Structure formats: structure tokens, C-alpha cells
Amino acid sequence: MVRFRTEVKGGVKLNFTLPLIYSKISKEVKIMRYMELIAPCHFGLESVLKREILDLGYDISKVEDGRVTFLGDAEAICRANIFLRTAERILLKVGEFKAVTFDELFEKTKTLPWEEYIPADGKFWVTKAASVKSKLYSPSDIQSIMKKAMVERLKSKYHQEWFDEDGASYPVRVFLMKDVVTIGIDTSGVSLHKRGYRQMTAKAPITETLAAALIMLTPWRRERILVDPFCGSGTFPIEAAMMAANIAPGMNRSFTAEGWTNLIPRKLWYDTVEEAQELIEDDIVVDIQGYDIDPEVIKAARKNAEDAGVAHLIHFQQRAVSELRHPKKYGFIITNPPYGERLEEKAALPKLYRELGESYQKLDSWSAYMITSYEDAERYFGKKADKNRKIYNGMIKTYFYQFMGPKPPKRT
């Protein structure tokens, strides 16, 4: 179902739902199309993304493992891509149905209103198919059959036998869960974790979307100190600085849907970027620090911070974790220490985590948050976490350990 908000002559406002998006509506009605948008995210972080979407002003229609579905119009596509920090991409939902045979998949895909989204010169293909606990499980077969069904539908609607596909791109993504097929067109293109600032990376980098979500799981605010003693390419400090300065993560990159002039007027993209620029507060004073023992890694982190426009808000320094010190109280450690995925690195982990724990104990009234797959993290850190949360970092099962210090006294 698609929700509509209308404004009839005379100022009367109506809300109603329709099963499809209708393009031919009386000229007496000014209509704003509402669609379902799907935002995939890291498993275990759906609540963070849900809060972000609600803060942007959109209604949630469904929360599932690894994705949040919400209602929005064309402007919502622009704003979600530019403002959301924890979504992996934004999909325009075309349809959802049950299919247990390839014939069913073909026929039901063919009934979807593809002509409402894809123009006659549009380039369209099924870029990814994923299947979990479903009778149809071959990605290549799913992709091929759905493409044929889309072509047949568009042939009948555009009355032509061949499509040059030399226009804008409309990549389709499909997900099957327990035989339920969910189909969306990818509005983002390159994953949203690609902010455009991280040209230089260190070993085992954490993605920008995951780093942002983990920071948002903590009570850290820009008035509080934040230190990452294993900063690598600088992702945690940079994401924190962007939040502190209210810099939208998608301001400096492009999106596939920018070419969808049949659905989204270009002015909406310009207006959204202008909105983001007006919200920036980069003249603030913050205490955000990143340390690493490798000087080349620190050099890369500084370059990434410059590209993100937050170099003036972060202090990077070559320093071992054993040298972690800070004179002030109530700070935060938020970090992604080594996991020891390679055997030669695993032997060094007990000493590394012990040093991190010892340094933390010397800090006055601090909190510590670390994401790691190392099973003995708490043991060598020397303290049991107040909370931990299971999160999948790619295909690696990790835990976000949370050691909570006391809250600072309220200011009078």
C-alpha cells in the first residue's frame, strides 16, 4: 500500500492509502507521492537506524533483522541518502510477494508497475539477489528470471520490442526470506559507508556506518572527551567529529538516483545539500583524539580527516596504548582494537588488551566501549563489561563491550 497526502483547492487536507501509485489524477488535486523506502543496516543496529529515521521526520512501517522500512516521498530519498549515518543504502520498494517456483517469481515480478519507476531509456538490471531459508536459492537464476519479467512488462507498457538502456541507471536488489520476495530499486549506488573521505585505509578498517552506529549507542556528546587508542585510518574520531559539527555524511558524494529526473526533480537534491550546509557548526571546540603506534597510519588518518573537513577538530598522535593518559574526568574510550584474525597476531593480543585495561583503570571516571571478536577481551582487560551487544562486522561475529563510568554532575 502507498500512502498519499493531498491538498485540495480550498485548503482541505486529506490522508488516504492506495494499492499503487497513480500518475493520472485530477488537476484539482495537488499530490505528493508517498512510497516505502528500505534502509539496510548492520545486524543488531536496527534500533539506532530507526531512531535516526524518526529524527528525520519519517514514519516507520517495519523493522526486520538488518533493515528498516519507512514511508517517504521523493524528498525523503534525497534526505535519507545525505543525512542518515547508519544506513548502508536506500532502496525504493517496488513490491513484495510470496514465490516458491520460478514461474511464480516471473509472473509476480511481471505484475509490478515497473513503468512507474523506469523510463523507456532506463538501464535496469538485478544487481544483487540474496536468499535465506527459501525454496528459490540460486542468485543467478533469480536475477535472470526477474530481468526477463521486467522486460516483458515494459514491452507491453512502452509498446516496443527492444530497449537500448542508454539512460539513467535503475539497479534492482531482491531479497528472499522464507519464500517472501522483497524487491527494491537502489537509489544510493555505492554503499553509503563510502562517505568520500577515506581514501587511505589501515589494516582491518571499521566501516563508517558501523563506527557511527556504535558511537550513537554510547552516551557520548560533543561536550565530552573521546579518545580512540587504536584509531587506524581515523574512522571513529572522524565520524565523531562529523557528528559534533553536524556535518551530513552524504554531502560530498553522488547517488544513483540523482539521474532519476522522472521521479526526483534535481532541485530537491540541491535543496537538501543546501539544508545540510546550513546546519554545519564547524567552529566548535571539542576534545577528540586518535592514537596509533604506527606513524604511517597516523599520517593516513590525518589525510582522511582533512578530506572530511574535520582535521581542525581532531588531535592525532603516534602513541602506544600503554601511554594512554588524560588529566580530565568523564571521558570516553571508543575503539576497535585488533582481533587477531591472523595467527601471528593472536599471540600479541593478551598483552595488548591488558595494557588497554591498565590504562583505562588509571583514567578518572571514564567509560570505555570496544568492538572486538577476541573471546578473551574481558579477561585480559581485567573487568567484566556492564553490557555487551552482538554485532556482525561483515561476516565476523563481534561483541560491543560497554564499560560504563559514572555520569558527570549536572551543570547548574
pLDDT per residue as tens digits for the range 141-195: 999 999 999 999 999 999 999 999 999 999 999 999 999 999 999 999 999 999 9
User: pLDDT band at 67, cuts 50/70/90?
Assistant: very high
Measured between alpha carbons, how far is 249 from 276 in angstroms, rounded to an integer?
A: 9
Q: Using CB atoms within 10 A of its CB, is residue 9 exposed (0-12), middle (13-18) or buried (19+)?
A: exposed
User: pLDDT band at 201, cuts 50/70/90?
Assistant: low
User: pLDDT band at 123, cuts 50/70/90?
Assistant: very high
Measured between alpha carbons, how far is 180 from 131 in angstroms, rounded to an integer?
A: 10
pLDDT, residue 395, reads 79
User: pLDDT band at 392, cuts 50/70/90?
Assistant: confident
Given a contact cutoff of 8 angstroms between Cβ atoms, the answer to whether 165 and 128 are in contact is no
User: pLDDT band at 2, cuts 50/70/90?
Assistant: very low
Going from the C-alpha of 18 to that of each of 23, 34, 75, 93, 112, the distances in angstroms are 12, 10, 20, 15, 15
Given a contact cutoff of 8 angstroms between Cβ atoms, the answer to whether 93 and 38 are in contact is yes
Return the residue matching grid coordinates 534500533.
47
pLDDT tens-digit series, residues 342-374: 655 788 999 999 999 999 999 999 999 999 999
DSSP assignment of 332-355? EEEE------SHHHHTTHHHHHHH
Q: Which long-range contacts (CB under 8 A, 24 or more apart) does 397-402 make?
A: 397/373, 398/339, 398/371, 398/372, 398/373, 399/371, 399/372, 399/373, 400/214, 400/217, 400/369, 400/370, 400/371, 401/368, 401/369, 401/370, 401/371, 401/372, 401/377, 402/217, 402/218, 402/367, 402/368, 402/369
Q: Write phi, then psi, for 275 (nearest 5 degrees).
A: -60, -45
Pairing of strands 288-292, 314-318: parallel
User: pLDDT band at 341, cuts 50/70/90?
Assistant: low
pLDDT, residue 7, reads 39
Predicted confidence (pLDDT) at residue 10 exceeds the cutoff of 60: no
Predicted confidence (pLDDT) at residue 398 exceeds the cutoff of 50: yes
Mean pLDDT in residue range 200-221: 87
Q: Write phi, then psi, for 145 (nearest 5 degrees).
A: -65, -40
Q: If DSSP codes are grouped into helix, strand and coil, which group holds residue 123? A: strand
Whole-number percent of the chain with pLDDT over 90: 83
Round the average pLDDT of the chain to a whole number and report it. Answer: 90
pLDDT, residue 99, reads 98
Residue 376: count other Cβ atoms within 10 Å of its Cβ: 12
pLDDT, residue 54, reads 98
Q: Within its chain, how far is the Cα of 208 from the centroid?
A: 8
